[in-house]
Amino acid sequence: MAPVKVSKICCIGAGYVGGPTCAVIALKCPHIQVTIVDLNKDRIDAWNSPDFALPIYEPGLVEVVRQARGRNLFFSTDVDKGIKEADLIFVSVNTPTKKSGVGAGFAADLKYVELATRRIAEVATSSKIVVEKSTVPCRTAESMRTILEANSKPNCRFDILSNPEFLAEGTAISDLFSPDRVLIGSLQTQEGIDACQSLKQVYANWVPEERILTVGLWSSELSKLAANAMLAQRISSVNALSAICEATGANIDEVAHAIGYDSRIGPKFLKASVGFGGSCFQKDILNLVYLSESLHLPEVAAYWRQVVEMNEYQKRRFSKRVVDTLFNTITGKRIAVLGFAFKADTGDTRESAAITLIRDFQSEKALVNVYDPKVPHEQIWLDLEEASPQVPLDTIKKQVTICKSAIEACKDAEAVVIATEWKEFKEIDWEAVYASMNKPAFVFDGRLIIDAEKLRKIGFKVTTIGRPSNN
Ligand code: NAD
């Protein structure tokens, strides 16, 4: 058997990964028909919306979809048709952390991967290359293969590849246009190598050959967890140092700059903050913790668990600093939280630090004004409700107000807390903000984006991560 020339791709899962990834494949490979399917009709309707009101915000995404949609890019709820027609199928469904049962709080919940795999086996009437795009525990491909082989029809063979996605939300399109690397894992059999070549030919339409890495299946699966664990570990390391800076008078920006000059360390991803968020870092590390425990490697599990614990500590420490600085009580005080997304340039709020901060402020009976330029209001209410399940939404709505601008959020507040590094927060008219706030007016920069000295000159009392408070 030789590598198949891929002409029809189906992607199961039209989310933050499946949507942008396969839209870019369609753009770069006009000869390939790409159909992205999802069970969520609202999401598919949004992808198909005539005014391009797409279900996710990502810079550059609308332009990609505008060029390819209707030409060779299609969005549909007809999962079965998508599967039947394709010769290569990406499985890009969600793999959240299990909420209950064995491994709750740590293990990946693979029910969506299993359901999608079973569906492929049930409806496929010809051979398929099935590609794991979702982030999964090491050796998940083996389970997928067992399910596919047990349910396949005669003359249907399935080759499984792992092709984890390394895009970062907020820069997804540029990451996909010129990725650091594309990783493809396959079984080292002739069939596995042929399937790997088929997928490699798709990426080779725009990714330089030396950036397409081919490895074994298990290495590929583990590499994705390892990459996220190491990125998160870097953030937790710099955040741990930020606590020492606050206590000693060292400055975390200066320390990060100095250590980043070491070519073995490098300057990227060394910014202290209120903590990492997003749907991946915590989930993937916990996944690694669970995997290590399952493999009877408790010391390895403890090592990685500490990265998540440091992140929780950083968020708690920041909330406490706000309360301590506001004379040990925030009861009845208005606090403006700027930013609700877990990072700039995305509307995604999963595991956002803002959720934890607002929950902490609510529990101290503060009044919170929140503003984010991209997160829909319904999403904010959903997240706040989920964060405090014992508090009725009506009560939350008495304490929290969603504002239409940063200026509106800051009016009559005692303190401004920057939770997301949106560019527009750097450009706020701080003189006007100061004039509209109660005095003394405090700013807490959880993302190290403002010019603290400039704000101090205006009259603000400024607290930033990784520097002692010297108001
Ligand atoms: P998401 O929740 O945004 O999207 C997943 C989609 O899959 C949902 O729309 C859901 O309705 C759909 N789905 C679930 N089961 C289905 C089924 N059986 N048939 C059809 N559709 C189904 O998730 P996401 O952020 O796109 O993440 C997908 C995977 O990619 C996860 O494993 C994640 O860890 C990984 N990943 C995410 C990122 C990121 O930045 N978000 C980056 C790299 C990897």
Q: Are residues 192 and 325 in the same domain?
A: no
Q: Quote the tokens at residue 14.
A: 């039209």
Give the residue, by CA position, lying nearest to ligand 1 atom 3.
Answer: 15
264 is in an annotated binding site: yes
Span 242-289, pLDDT tens digits: 999 999 999 999 999 999 999 999 999 999 999 999 999 999 999 999
Q: Per the domain annotation, does 215 fall within a domain?
A: no
Q: Is 43 among the annotated ligand-binding positions? A: yes
- Does 273 appear as a known binding residue? yes
Contacts of 455 (CB under 8 A, 6+ apart): 430, 443, 462
Strand partners, 113: none
53 and 199 belong to one structural domain: yes
Question: pLDDT tens, 69-112?
Answer: 999 999 999 999 999 999 999 999 999 999 999 999 999 999 99
CATH code: domain of residue 408 = 3.40.50.720
Q: What is the pLDDT of residue 155?
A: 86
Q: Are 280 and 166 in contact (CB under 8 A)?
A: no
- 240 domain residue, yes or no: no
CA–CA separation, 264 vs 274, rounded Å?
26
25 and 161 in a single domain? The answer is yes
Q: Which of 190, 207, 224 is the C-terminal boundary of a domain?
A: 207
- The atom of ligand 1 lying closest to the CA of 133 is 30
Whether residue 274 is annotated as binding a ligand: the answer is yes
Verify whether ligand 1 is closer than 6 Å to residue 112 (CB atom).
Answer: yes
Q: What is the pLDDT of residue 471?
A: 54
The burial class, CB within 10 Å (0-12 / 13-18 / 19+), for 446 is buried
Q: Among 352, 336, 327, 357, which residue's Cα sits nearest to residue 443?
A: 336
Instruction: Examine the residue annotation and report whether 280 is marked as an active-site residue of this protein.
Output: yes
Q: How far is the CA of 396 from the centre of ligand 1 (A)?
A: 29
Which of 10, 11, 41, 93 is the best mutation target for the ligand 1 pocket, counting ligand atoms within 8 Å of the beta carbon and taking the most? 93
Instruction: Kindly give the distance from the C-alpha atom of residue 16 to the centroid of ligand 1, in angstroms, as a whole number.
Output: 7
13 pocket-lining for ligand 1 (C-beta < 6 Å): yes
Q: Which tokens go with 13?
A: 């899962």
What average pLDDT score do residues 193-215 get? 98
Verify whether ligand 1 is closer than 6 Å to residue 280 (CB atom): yes
117 in Cβ contact with 127 (< 8 Å): no
Q: Are residues 322 and 189 located together in one domain of the fold? A: no
Residue 441 lies in a domain: yes
SS3 for the chain is CCCCCCCEEEEECCCCCHHHHHHHHHHHCCCCEEEEECCCHHHHHHHCCCCCCCCCCCCCHHHHHHHHECCCEEEECCHHHHHHHCCEEEECCCCCECCCCCCCCCCECCHHHHHHHHHHHHHCCCCEEEEECCCCCCCHHHHHHHHHHHHCCCCCCEEEEECCCCCCCCCHHHHHHCCCCEEEEECCCHHHHHHHHHHHHHHCCCCCHHHEEEEEHHHHHHHHHHHHHHHHHHHHHHHHHHHHHHHHCCCHHHHHHHHHCCCCCCCCCCCCCCCCCCCCHHHHHHHHHHHHHHCCCHHHHHHHHHHHHHHHHHHHHHHHHHHHHCCCCCCCCEEEEECCCCCCCCCCCCCCHHHHHHHHHHHCCCEEEEECCCCCHHHHHHHHHHHCCCCCHHHHHHHEEECCCHHHHHCCCCEEEECCCCHHHHCCCHHHHHHHCCCCCEEEECCCCCCHHHHHHHCCEEEECCCCCCC
Q: Provide the sign of the torsion angle of the four alpha carbons 287, 290, 294, 295, taken in this order.
A: positive
Give residue 183's pLDDT.
98
pLDDT of residue 469: 76
Q: What is the pLDDT of residue 299?
A: 98
Q: Output the CA 96–ligand 1 centroid distance in Å.
A: 9
Both 170 and 42 in a single domain?
yes
The reply to whether omega before 373 is within 30° of 0 (cis) is no
Looking at 207, 234, 260, which one is the last position of a domain? 207
Does the annotation list 166 as a binding residue? yes
User: Is 134's C-beta closer than 6 angstroms to any atom of ligand 1?
Assistant: yes
The minimum-distance atom of ligand 1 relative to the CA of 172 is: 40
Start-to-end Cα distance in the chain: 71
Co-location of 313 and 201 in the same domain: no
pLDDT given for residue 151 in this prediction: 87
* pTM, full prediction: 0.95
Instruction: Report the residue among 10, 24, 36, 38 best suited for mutation to probe ligand 1: largest number of ligand atoms under 8 A from its CB.
Output: 38
> pLDDT higher for 155 or 97?
97
Shared domain for 315 and 201, answered yes or no, is no
Q: How far is the CA of 134 from the centre of ligand 1 (A)?
A: 7
Return the half-sphere exposure (C-beta side, CA atoms, 13 A cut-off) of residue 111: 7
- 88 vs 34: CA distance, rounded Å: 10
Amino acid at 420: T
Please give the mean pLDDT across all residues of the chain: 97
Q: Which domain holds residue 177?
A: 8-207
Residue 267 lies in a domain: no
Q: Is residue 233 part of a domain?
A: no
Residue 456 among known ligand-binding residues: no
Of all protein residues, the one whose alpha carbon is nearest to atom 15 of ligand 1 is 112
Question: Which of 162, 180, 207 is where one domain is finished?
Answer: 207
- Domain-located, residue 257: no
Domain-located, residue 298: no
CB 216 within 8 A of CB 188: yes
Q: Which residue's C-alpha comes closest to atom 6 of ligand 1?
A: 13
**Whether residue 185 is found in the same domain as residue 318:** no
| Inside any domain, residue 52 | yes
Cβ(344) to ligand 1 under 6 A?
A: no
Residue reference for tokens 């933050």: 16
Q: Active-site residue among 22, 196, 280, 410?
A: 280
pLDDT tens figures, 35-81: 999 999 999 999 999 999 999 999 999 999 999 999 999 999 999 99
Helices 298-325 and 217-248, packing angle to 10 deg: 40
Q: Is the dihedral of CA 182, 169, 447, 319 positive or negative?
A: negative
| pLDDT band, very low/low/confident/very high, at 125 (cuts 50, 70, 90) | very high
Give residue 1's pLDDT: 63
Residue 166 and residue 38 share a domain: yes
Phi, psi of 331 (to 5 degrees): -55, 125
Structural domain total, the chain: 2
Residue 279 Cα, ligand 1 centroid: separation in angstroms?
10
ipTM of the complex: 0.99
Are 199 and 325 contained in the same domain? no
**Using a 6 Å cutoff on CB, does residue 137 contact ligand 1?**
no
Confidence grade of residue 470 (pLDDT, cut at 50, 70, 90): low
